[in-house]
Amino acid sequence: MHTQAIAKLVAPNESEEVVLKIEGLSVRYPGMKEGTYTVHGVDLELVRGTIHGLMGESGCGKSTTALASIAFRRSQEIIDGKALFAGKDLFTYTHRELLSLWGGKVAFVAQSAFQALNPSLTIGSQIEQVLRTHTHLDRSEINTRILSLLSDMGVPLPEQAVKRYPFQFSGGQLQRVALALALACRPQVLILDEPTTGLDVTTQEVISALLKKIAQDDGISILYISHDLALLKSIASYISVMYAGQIVESGVVHKVLETPKHPYTRLLVGITPKLSDSRLIPGIPGAPPPHSILDSCAFAPRCEHARPACEAGVIPLVAKDSCNVRCIRVNEIPLAPPDGSSLARPITSSNQPLLIVDQLELRYPGAKFLSIDKLSFKLMRGERVAIVGESGSGKSSVLRVIAGISAASDGYLSFDNQRLGLVTTRTKQLCSSIQLIFQNADSSLNPKHTVRKLLRRSLILFRPEIREPSYDSCISNMLRLIGLPERVLDVSPSALSGGQRQRVAIGRCFLAKPKLVLCDEITSALDVSVQASVMTLLAELTAANGASVIFVSHDLPVVRAIADRVIVMRKGQVVEIGTSEEIFCRPKHPYTQSLISAVPEF
């Protein structure tokens, strides 16, 4: 057992009012061994009128902590500790009291807005239900409040939007609707789980500024879970870093992120993509343990600074330069950022275009405006082109037309000298040559199939030259390439982390031997370490077989690292096309300039 004295831990100033105080929060799921925890010993204080950031890799316990802190149980978790709200422990509330609290004084915004919203009700009806339950507003006041909320969140045409259903919005628009729903009753505590993941940088900037203003003006305490360190630095007052269900570093945000002291925090800061640097830092090797490690340093197996003493006993939180740090070597380790490297590049053997898009148009049934308006570009063999722009600019629609999911209204589209139509008109060979990796692996991977069956299906559909006895060998080779162990083959996607599911989706894609890979926001829900690993994997696989890539993303620093050329779209039209260097260093169009200036620089 370590005998190092624990200094008085850093806490908010006495003059600041703590609205929600979490003390010794521990969470166990049913079936876990006695003494094993998903989250253990977490202390958090949410100060009135401030934003408290919570960061860490996927699987570190951030969302579990957030939901447990408001006494919400998803799977009959066993929760210990205290959650003091207005002087009363939420864990002593009756179910009726909690139902009265949630949505009124305490609100929560989930990462997946589509899953959180009722698909059978219009968004106007859903916000109205919350206001009728928790306020005494009359019908006229409710209608005014709904329109005001949607307008503040940047939802286009609020008067029409209230009559629409969730499936009629883009992912970014749905996230804005979810924020409006959460803020409807002006809660005292707001829990945000990756609320801007699906938003473009300009909308993210607007929403973030609005949240910061609401927190200050209305005195709302916000717990903001995010993988975006630059965003947290720009809006949060305090920040806590989680690893393996424990807080490993916390304090004032600029102290933690500008001079990180825990080796884990330093690596997270170091691998965060930067708009000013076209290199991508490789992710942190290894993965977090599946539960809290209480008798040693949980990060030691992945830490280059680990010593035998780090695994010889409990590691306490200690105060260091206005921060709380869980590391016994905090006074010894120098600050040194990891080295960056450029992504693997394919060897392009020809300057001939693989894909030709000429005057492409798309109008969805009943829509007044074109989703794609006279789009033209050429994609060379082995080239990586990124499409960027605000939500609703037509980026994903371009991928859907190229993939054959949506039929173009007009224009010309050819691939490898073959005219492209709907996927139902394409040969198997053509279908295997063009593969789409969806944004959300949760919904794109069949939850009833094992990973083995998902990967075998790609071989069955697209690789007739491979016989069934060779399937397992091909799948094992792909598992090695995507960095997954053999044991994942016989589990369903739900048993995997978000990063592992995305790797399975990438592996399924490349088993088809594609010539063109379409990537629709494939890293938006991933933490910075997994994101770096996935991007490195994608670059290596495309470089190995010379595949071209069209990469749709809101994450401009990631685009800077992967793209040879960038297409900037707005309202279905191209406003600028150029090399990555030209777009990010010498943007010409005012819209491109506004996009780049909206990126929070880290």
* pLDDT tens-place string over residues 213-252: 889 988 999 999 998 888 899 999 999 999 999 999 999 9
Residue 112: the pLDDT is 73
Q: Tell me the per-residue pLDDT of 242-285, one tens digit each, with 9 for 90 and over.
A: 999 999 999 999 999 988 999 999 888 888 888 887 777 777 88
DSSP 3-state of 52: strand
* pLDDT the model gives residue 350: 60
Domain boundaries, the chain: 1-7+17-105+188-341, 111-184, 353-448+514-597
Helix 471-482, helix 528-545: angle, nearest 10: 130
| pLDDT tens digits, one per residue of 155-172 | 889 999 999 999 888 767
pLDDT in tens, 60-99: 889 899 999 999 987 778 999 999 998 899 999 999 999 9
At residue 7 the predicted structure's pLDDT band, cuts being 50, 70 and 90, is very low
CATH entry 3.40.50.300 includes domain 1-7+17-105+188-341 = yes
In this model, does residue 38 exceed pLDDT 50? yes
Q: According to the model, what pLDDT value does residue 9 have?
A: 56
Residue 4 above 70 pLDDT?
no
* In the predicted structure, residue 51 carries a pLDDT above the cut 70: yes
Residue 473 reports pLDDT greater than 60: yes
Pairing type for strands 434-437 and 516-520 reads parallel
The residue with greater pLDDT, 136 or 287, is 136
Tokens (6 digits) for 124: 């106007």
pLDDT of amino acid 252: 94
User: What is the reported pLDDT for 1?
Assistant: 40
Task: Give dist(CA 226, CA 111) in Å, integer.
Answer: 10
Nearest CA among 390, 433, 406 for reference residue 546: 433
pLDDT for the residue numbered 12? 60
pLDDT for residue 13: 63
pLDDT at 74: 76
Domains 1-7+17-105+188-341 and 353-448+514-597 equal at CATH topology level: yes
Q: For 353-448+514-597, CATH number?
A: 3.40.50.300
101-117 pLDDT, tens digit each: 998 999 998 877 777 88
Is pLDDT of 301 > 50? yes
Percent composition of the chain: helix, strand, coil (DSSP 3-state, to 5):
35, 20, 40
Look at 336 and 423; give whichever has higher pLDDT: 423
User: pLDDT band for position 201 (50/70/90)?
Assistant: confident
What is the secondary structure of 252-298 as a DSSP string? EHHHHHHS--SHHHHHHHHHS--TT---BPPPPSS---SS---SS-T
* Share above pLDDT 90 across residues of the chain, in percent, rounded to a whole number: 52
What is the mean predicted confidence (pLDDT) over 12-24?
82
- Inform me whether the pLDDT recorded for 349 exceeds 60: no
Between residues 276 and 520, the one the model is more confident about: 520
